[in-house]
Structures are given as structure tokens and as C-alpha cells.
Amino acid sequence: MKSFKKACMLALALLLGVSSLTGCGGQGKVGETATDNIVEVVYNGWNNLPIANSYENNPYKEYIDTTYGFDYRVSLTANFSDEVPKRFASSKTRLPDIVVFETRDYATMKSLYNQGFFIEDYTPYLDSMPQIKKLFETNVAAKAKLTENGNIIALTRPANDPVWMHKIRQDWVDKYAGGKIPETVDELLAMAANVKADSTTDDAKYLFTAAGSRKDIGDLHRFQFMFSDYDSWYVKDGQVSHPILAGSHEKFLDFCRTI
């Protein structure tokens, strides 16, 4: 038999997905989680397991299971926003132990929290998770958005490198930026100007490229992070903060017009 709180704490520390909000079931009203040694984490299907039958001969799972005494499982669902509420509403299946929501699924997470399915307040557990505690102390947006009536209703993961990202060629840095990787928008645009000046019909060069259907800016939207996180809106003391209102999104659009 597992200790639920211990299971939540250890499993949370082991999450490797790209999501931002995590809820641990603690007050389930239907389909109670069985008192077993399973720790099941439900992810959006976008987070891919590396190979078929990846639980077989998987050194990560073996390490977790052996070290913590849990049967650690990851369940993926392609239709996350629909499937997760169904899991909590069903009396025929065990409740997930941990659900990892992406930012866009915040409404679903909040709805399940208000129905009493998740831990009411993570505050008592933060001392056991110093990195997460530090994140809340320094990330005003996360703390404001995930605090309800003084309770921390979910945990947010520290940011990591996205799966898709822009790369910069070292040989072009040497040739067009004097060997120094651009650190500011102006330095990046200056390098782009040098690339363009050296581009010819027979030898076309582009510093910025992006996948897309030519109906929008494609992967160039990731340059928004040079100015602010577009999803970092929050409400504090009755005031709304959002990149559009703060002006950082306009700076991003100006940058796109320039390139």
C-alpha cells in the first residue's frame, strides 16, 4: 500500500514532460484511486513515449520502481481535454494519481480542482520541494495565476528547452557577427543585415526560416519569448497583466515586420 502524499511528492519530482500545471488527486469523490502501489501520470498525447512497449527494458522506469517502490506508469491521451474529465467522472476506472496539464488546459484543471478532485493547497508541501518553492517565490505570474483564496491549487514546472527551437550556425556567427553570438534584438538584426548583404541570386541566404503554411508566421512565433512569455498573463489585485496590454507583443510584431 502506498502513502498518497509521498507518492505525489516523489512522482512530481520525476516528471519530464513539457507541461506547466500539475494536479495531484487528493479528494476524489467518484472512482476513488485504489490503495495500490501504482503511480499513474496522465499526459497530453503530444508527449511521446520513445518506443513501442517502452515499459519493457526501460531503465528509467526500473530505477523509479526500484528506488521508490512504486509501479510508475505514464498514460497518454490524444484528446486530453475530453478524456481527463471522463476519467474523473467514471466510477469504473481508478483515478489518475497525477495529471499534467498544459497552459491551454488551465480551465479543465480549475474545473476539476473546484469539484474537489485535487489537493486543496500545496503550500504545506513546498518546503519538501525547494526548487518549486523558489519558482513560486520568483515567478509572479505563476504564483498569481495558481493561487486561489490563499491556496496554491497546482504546481508549475520550471521552463525547459522546447522540442522545436531555432538554431544559429556557428560558422555564420563567425562570418556575419564577428564571432559573437547575438545577445540582443539589435545584434540579431545586425547579423541578419550582414547575411542579406552577402546573399545573391545564385547563393541565397536566409538567417530566419520557419515551417508553416504561409497563412501565418509559422514557427517565428517562438521569437515572442525574446520579449515576454505570451502565456504569462495573470490577474493580481484586480488588474490584468498580459503581453498585449504591456506592449511586449507589439515589440514582437515590430520585430517580425523588420525581418
How far apart CA 250 and CA 259 sit, in angstroms, is 14
Helix (H) or strand (E) holding 148: strand 147-148
pLDDT of res. 203 = 92
Tens digit of each residue's pLDDT (9 = 90 or more) over 199-237: 999 999 989 877 667 777 777 888 888 888 776 677 778
pLDDT of res. 196 = 94
pLDDT of res. 175 = 96
Q: Which amino acid is at 119?
A: I
Query: Which residues 6+ apart lie within 8 Å of 190 measured at CB?
Result: 177, 182
- C-alpha distances out from residue 114 to 32, 98, 104, 111, 236, Å: 17, 16, 18, 5, 20
When comparing pLDDT for 2 and 160, which is higher?
160
pLDDT of res. 236 = 76
Helices (H), 165-225: 170-176, 185-197
CA dihedral 23, 26, 27, 33 (to 10 degrees): 100
For cell 556575419, the residue is: 176
CA dihedral 98, 65, 7, 18 (to 10 degrees): -30
Helix (H) or strand (E) holding 66: helix 59-68
CA dihedral 194, 196, 198, 203 (to 10 degrees): 150
pLDDT band at 190; cut points 50, 70, 90: very high
- What is the mean pLDDT of the segment spanning 65-73? 88
For cell 521569437, the residue is: 223
Task: Identify the CA nearest to 125 among candidates 200, 22, 45, 246.
Answer: 22
Residue/partner pairs of 10-15 with CB below 8 Å, 24 or more apart: 10/39, 10/68, 10/70, 11/39, 11/41, 11/70, 11/72, 11/97, 11/98, 12/98, 12/129, 12/132, 12/155, 13/129, 14/64, 14/72, 15/41, 15/98, 15/100, 15/157
Q: Quick one: residue 57, left, alpha or beta (phi over 0 = left, psi -120 to 50 = alpha)? A: left
Q: Domain ranges in the chain? A: 4-156, 170-258
For residue 12, give the 3-state DSSP assignment: helix
How far apart CA 138 and CA 55 sit, in angstroms, is 37
How far apart CA 41 and CA 80 sit, in angstroms, is 13
Q: Is the pTM here over 0.75, yes or no?
A: no
For residue 177, give the 3-state DSSP assignment: coil
pLDDT of res. 184 = 92
Tens digit of each residue's pLDDT (9 = 90 or more) over 9-48: 333 333 333 334 566 654 444 445 555 788 888 888 765 5
